[in-house]
């Protein structure tokens, strides 16, 4: 490999990037947009579940139960319903997510020490929110039942037996359970994959489409030099994006960065080389820009978004998909990022992932060079 020729290819590619200020701007704006959206607007956290209540009993007991729901920090009573049609309409229009229906004989059953069933409807279409709403409702109902049982046994005040069990929850690594703390680190991996999909996947295909590849072939430049030279400008751009992401995480979102910053950048660089080369490999094989972008979507962007553990925990996936996720490099990088950011772990814990990423990067660079050689020949 001749460094002067690599530099020449890199310079040509730099000019390409510079001549197209809009693409350059987007390569920086898209990551920032993603960070802002995930940092500010997007969360799976369920705060207060909007609730409809239909109290058919209209007794002090039923009002007490409803007041428990209304006063809890989990529910926000938005609607006093007067029948099932009210509830159906409110749930269908998503005005409320849950509905509590207290039956007519509620107070009578409570008074005689019988179990008093109340209905709790929840909009199940968003299963995540529904799960939280059901859990909250059970918590409120349980604590109310406890009071009733104590009252009926005539043991309020000092005679009341102690609560048998207290759960002390502790959350490691992300004490306030903020979703941005786990989203923002993983987002760095996604951003790099976007850059690879958007920038490198087009570079070689464009040369083929415009016919400039033949001119490049006619020069003494070698395939390895083309690959290396074309990687340089996008590598610089990608690292700039990493820097922006880390800075925004630090200054804007205050995501704790507990591990080594140097290690973070080092491993980002390793991953970036692999991701960019992957885009390049796609570009070399596709020869058409449209096909290359579609392939890049399917092979790099989607898997790194959905199967890397960035948002959806890999442990919850079915076994075949869990197995398949092992060949997705972003998976290892996401766990590295979360490890460095939130757990503050270093190379001893992350050595396995780091080795796999390096192997992936080296393999894709070699493969891209070989494929280019064959197509050139």
Partner 1 sequence: MGERLRRMLVKEFLQVFRDPRMRLMIVLMPLIQVLVFGYAVSTDVRDVPTAVVDFDRTPASRELLARFAGSGYFRFVAQTRDVAAVRRLVDRGEAEAVLRIDGGFGEDIKGGRTARLQVIVDGTDSNTAGIVLDYAGRIAGAYSDRVFLDRLARLRGPVPQPGGVVLVPRAWFNENLESRNYYVPGVIAMIVMLITLMLTSMAVVREKEIGTIEQILVSPITPVEFILGKTIPFALIGYADVFLVAGIGVFWFDVPIRGSILLLLFATALYLMTTLGIGLLISTVSRTQQQAMMTVFFVYLPAVLLSGFMFPVANMPPAVQLLTYANPLRHFLVVVRGIFLAGAGAATLWPQMAALLLIGAATLAVAARRFRKTLA
* Residues 140-169 interacting with partner 1 (rule: CB under 8 A): 141-142, 144-146, 148-150, 152-155, 159, 161-169
CA atoms within 13 A on the CB side of 219: 13
The pairs formed by 354-361 with CB atoms below 8 angstroms and a separation of 24 or more are: 354/267, 354/270, 356/329, 356/332, 357/267, 357/270, 357/271, 357/274, 357/329, 357/332, 357/333, 358/270, 360/274, 360/329, 361/270, 361/271, 361/273, 361/274, 361/277
Cβ nearer to partner 1, comparing 5 with 38: 38
- Of these, 56, 126, 265, 373, which contacts partner 1 (CB under 8 A)? 126
Using rule CB under 8 A, residue 81 touches partner 1: no
Using rule CB under 8 A, residue 14 touches partner 1: no
CA atoms within 13 A on the CB side of 159: 7
- Of these, 54, 66, 75, 132, which contacts partner 1 (CB under 8 A)? 132
Helix (H) / strand (E) containing 100? strand 98-102
Q: How far is the CB of 336 from partner 1 (least distance, A)?
A: 11
Using rule CB under 8 A, residue 351 touches partner 1: no
Q: How far is the CB of 253 from partner 1 (least distance, A)?
A: 14
Specify whether the CB–CB gap between 347 and 261 falls below 8 A. Answer: no
Using rule CB under 8 A, residue 94 touches partner 1: yes
Annotate each residue in 261-300 with x if it binds partner 1 (CB under 8 A) or - if it does not, as one string.
-------------------------x-xxxx-xxx-xx--
Using rule CB under 8 A, residue 72 touches partner 1: no
Q: How far is the CB of 170 from partner 1 (least distance, A)?
A: 5
- Of these, 1, 3, 15, 33, which contacts partner 1 (CB under 8 A)? 33
Using rule CB under 8 A, residue 138 touches partner 1: yes
Using rule CB under 8 A, residue 366 touches partner 1: no
* Residues 101-120 interacting with partner 1 (rule: CB under 8 A): 110, 113-120
Cβ nearer to partner 1, comparing 179 with 375: 179
Using rule CB under 8 A, residue 187 touches partner 1: no
Number of residues that bind partner 1 (CB under 8 A): 121
Q: How far is the CB of 220 from partner 1 (least distance, A)?
A: 28
b/e per residue 136-153 (b: at least 16 CB within 10 A): bbeebbeebeeebeeeee
Residue 363, SS3? Answer: helix
* Residues 212-271 interacting with partner 1 (rule: CB under 8 A): none
Using rule CB under 8 A, residue 125 touches partner 1: yes
- Of these, 60, 85, 157, 171, which contacts partner 1 (CB under 8 A)? 171
What distance lies between CA 45 and its chain's CA centroid? 13
DSSP at 287: -
Instruction: Copy the structure tokens of residue 55.
Output: 């109290």
Other beta carbons within 10 Å of 7 = 14
Using rule CB under 8 A, residue 38 touches partner 1: yes
Other beta carbons within 10 Å of 188 = 26
- What's the order of all strands across the beta sheet hosting 98-102? 75-80, 49-55, 98-102
Using rule CB under 8 A, residue 316 touches partner 1: yes
């Amino acid at each position: 490999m001749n460094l002067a020729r690599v530099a020449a290819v890199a310079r040509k590619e730099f000019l390409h990037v510079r001549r197209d200020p809009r693409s350059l701007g987007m390569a920086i704006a898209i990551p920032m947009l993603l960070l802002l959206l995930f940092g500010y607007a997007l969360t799976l956290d369920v705060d207060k579940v909007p609730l409809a209540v239909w109290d058919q009993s209209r007794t002090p007991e039923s009002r007490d139960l409803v007041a428990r729901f209304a006063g809890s920090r989990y529910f926000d009573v938005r609607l006093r319903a007067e029948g099932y049609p009210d509830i159906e309409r409110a749930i269908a229009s998503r005005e409320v997510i849950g509905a509590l229906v207290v039956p007519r004989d509620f107070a009578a059953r409570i008074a005689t020490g019988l179990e008093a069933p109340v209905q709790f409807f929840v909009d199940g279409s968003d299963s995540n929110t529904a799960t939280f709403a059901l859990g909250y409702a059970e918590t409120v109902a349980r604590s109310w039942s406890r009071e009733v049982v104590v009252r009926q046994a005539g043991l309020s005040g000092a005679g009341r037996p102690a609560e048998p069990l207290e759960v002390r929850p502790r959350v490691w690594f992300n004490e306030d359970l903020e979703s941005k703390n786990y989203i923002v680190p993983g987002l760095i991996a996604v951003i790099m994959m976007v850059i690879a999909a958007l920038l490198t996947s087009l570079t070689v295909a464009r040369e083929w489409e415009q016919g400039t590849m033949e001119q490049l072939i006619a020069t003494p430049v070698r395939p390895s030099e083309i690959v290396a030279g074309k990687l340089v400008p996008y590598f610089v751009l990608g690292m700039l994006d990493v820097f922006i992401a880390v800075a925004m995480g630090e200054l804007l979102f205050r995501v704790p960065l507990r591990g080594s910053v140097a290690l973070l950048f080092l491993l980002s660089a390793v991953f970036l080389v692999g991701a960019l080369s992957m885009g390049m490999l796609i570009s070399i094989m596709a020869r058409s820009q449209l096909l290359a972008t579609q392939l890049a979507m399917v092979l790099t962007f989607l898997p790194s978004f959905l199967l890397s553990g960035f948002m959806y925990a890999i442990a919850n996936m079915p076994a075949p998909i869990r197995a398949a996720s092992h060949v997705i490099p972003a998976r290892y990088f996401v766990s590295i990022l979360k490890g460095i950011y939130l757990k503050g772990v270093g190379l001893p814990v992350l050595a396995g992932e780091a080795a796999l990423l390096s192997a992936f990067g080296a393999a894709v660079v070699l493969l891209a060079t070989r494929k280019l050689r064959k197509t050139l020949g």
